[in-house]
Amino acid sequence: MEKHDYLINSKFNKHKYFHDKNVCFLDIETTGLSRKFNQIYLIGLVYFNNKNKSWYLSQFFANNINEEHILLEQVNKFISKFNLLVTYNGDSFDIPFIKHRFKIHKINNNISSTDSFDIYRKIKKYDSYLPFDNLKLKTIEKNLNIFREDKYTGKDCINFYYEYINTKDDTLKDKILKHNFDDLYYLLDIMQIFDVIQNIKNFDIEYNDKFISIEIDEINLTGDIINIYCNILVEKPDINFIYFGDTFNIIQKDKNHMIIKLEVNEGFITPTKKCLFINKSKLPPSIYLEDMTEYMLPEDIFVLKIENKYQMKNIKKLIKQLILYILNF
């Protein structure tokens, strides 16, 4: 078993996302998907060294399958100083896999007492807000303009590893280490996705030379009614956000929370793509809405959802116009 340590150049601000947590990013490479029958041959960690105020990346590599036990013991000892593990889909794969291998080797693991932050699980609930084809790691990287040098997959690395065991060809080992290195190194940059989500959900409304900050908290459907739950981030006790009309309602639960309810229609925006839309002609004439999607649409159609993706630019514009309407009512 060998350990590789690297000082990495990163300006990632862990306090922005994790406050005072002692955080460690984790990624594993395995010989297959079965935690029962396959082994872990590489565990990579990225962590902040508080003494010299720098980020480090460490890799624990098993030169053969029989070294898994040593690898796990070393990693178990190493991670005991952290209180938060950050992964991408780690709650479903990496962490259960490691725990099971600890159990097989009869190692009292430190992971069970360490909190987990799974980036994939955190952003999955916002999938319908994000204009991405999927939430695969490389898709997120592409949309964040992260372009890695490594072109291999985890499956490629399995083949490289078995070939390395037989040949001890260091070029194969280097490919594996590079793949894991890039997975971890760019995981720091992947945290930008939470800034993207915040920008998608949040916007300001200018009213009487002041700004009302709104955050879209949740969107759901009840039959043909769309419910848009919003947080009012700036306290405005002098403003009443309550309105009941023929075409939409705004219910203010308290000074910081409101629900906007509108009737929606279902149709096809293309011969194969479903959409949800509102008919602009049913809204008060003073409410001006211009559809921001890429489609050529009839004048009265304003699209809120295409397939499983909410059209957030349109939704934010709709909320803004409805609120301005009731404030000037």
Each of the 329 residues of the chain gets a pLDDT tens digit; together they read 999 999 999 989 999 999 999 999 999 999 999 999 999 999 999 999 988 889 999 999 999 999 999 999 999 999 999 999 999 999 999 999 999 999 999 999 989 899 999 999 999 999 999 999 999 999 999 999 998 877 889 999 999 999 999 999 999 999 999 999 999 999 999 999 999 999 999 999 998 888 899 999 999 999 999 999 999 987 655 778 899 999 999 999 888 899 999 999 999 999 999 999 999 999 999 999 999 999 999 999 999 999 999 999 999 999 999 999 999 87
How buried is residue 245: exposed, middle or buried, by Cβ count under 10 Å (0-12/13-18/19+)? middle
221 Cβ contact list (under 8 Å, min separation 6)? 227, 264, 276
Helices within the chain (DSSP H only)? 14-18, 68-78, 94-104, 119-124, 137-143, 154-167, 170-190, 193-201, 312-327
**What are the domain boundaries of the chain?**
2-191, 204-327
What's the confidence (pLDDT) of residue 50? 87
How buried is residue 242: exposed, middle or buried, by Cβ count under 10 Å (0-12/13-18/19+)? exposed
Q: Which residue's entry shows tokens 């992260």?
A: 146
Largest CA distance in the chain: 78
Cβ pair 98, 109 in contact under 8 A: yes
What is the C-alpha separation between 223 and 129, in angstroms, rounded?
Answer: 20
Q: Which CATH architecture has domain 2-191?
A: 2-Layer Sandwich (3.30)
Count CB neighbours of 247 within 10 A.
Answer: 16
Tally: H helices and E strands in the chain = 9, 16
195 Cβ contact list (under 8 Å, min separation 6)? none
What is residue 33's DSSP assignment? Answer: S
Q: What's the alpha-carbon Rg for the chain, to the nearest Å?
A: 25
What's the confidence (pLDDT) of residue 59? 99
Q: Which residue's entry shows tokens 């590489």?
A: 42
Q: Can you say how many angstroms the Cα of residue 273 is from the centroid of all Cα atoms in its chain?
A: 25
